[in-house]
Amino acid sequence: MTDFYRTIAGFAEAEIVEKKSRFIGQLTHVETEEEALAFLEEIRTKHRMARHNVYAYVLRGGRVRYSDDGEPGGTSGMPTLETLQHAGLQDAAIVTTRYFGGVLLGTGGLVRAYTAAAQAAIDAAQVVVISRCVDITVEVPYPLYEAVARLAADMEARIVESDFGASVLLTLRMLAGTEEPLLERLSEATRGQAEPLVSAPFDAAF
């Protein structure tokens, strides 16, 4: 398993119209099958008058699931799933709601419409990369603040919090396993006076 993956932040929605049928792609971040199925039920309730609520989800660890929800087999759920996978997304669930417009689209037309609706929802979403990170908390005197900030940038660490009191309390975030050179440089810059605290690794957008 890699140390990073692509997912989306929050919720995104987009709509396309194909021969008078409305296809509403609704995409959200989920981390469990329970969350994915709860999202499906939420959309079904919201669009209870729709003819179809096709869904697919991809979870880390290779767990996937999809449904055509009454559409001809292979025309909707699988194309939706493949669109998620082609985008490289994990921990994501999508429900495409179809309001039938009275014109039959045929199998090819359905595949194109459901694929387009899923892609439109992905295009509307904020895609983020989740990586294994650590936070480094360090207190520095004001005269060293700018030097430490530049050092953090040079070492590809991000300042996620700054607390300006009697001194400056900084929280730096960086990829787990890359922190040792920064800790050494911090010690040099502060002449050994700084006492950085390194968090346990965790997953975060980075």
CATH number of the structural domain spanning residue 69 = 3.30.230.30
Residues 118 and 136 in one domain: no
Q: pLDDT tens across 16-34, in order?
A: 999 999 999 999 999 999 9
Residues 71 and 98 in one domain: yes
Domain boundary at 80, 98, 124, which? 124
**191: containing domain:** 129-205
Residues 33 and 81 in one domain: yes
- Are the CB atoms for 20 and 102 separated by under 8 Å? yes
Cβ-based neighbours of 85, under 8 Å, separated by 6 or more: 58, 64
Residues 83 and 136 in one domain: no
Alpha helices per DSSP H over the chain: 33-46, 77-86, 106-124, 142-154, 180-189
Residues 43 and 69 in one domain: yes
Residues 93 and 137 in one domain: no
Q: pLDDT tens across 53-88, in order?
A: 999 999 998 899 999 999 999 999 999 999 999 999
pTM: 0.80
Number of other CB atoms surrounding residue 40 within 10 Å: 22
Residues 150 and 48 in one domain: no
Domain boundary at 86, 108, 124, which? 124
Domain total in the chain:
2
DSSP assignment, residue 176?
A: T
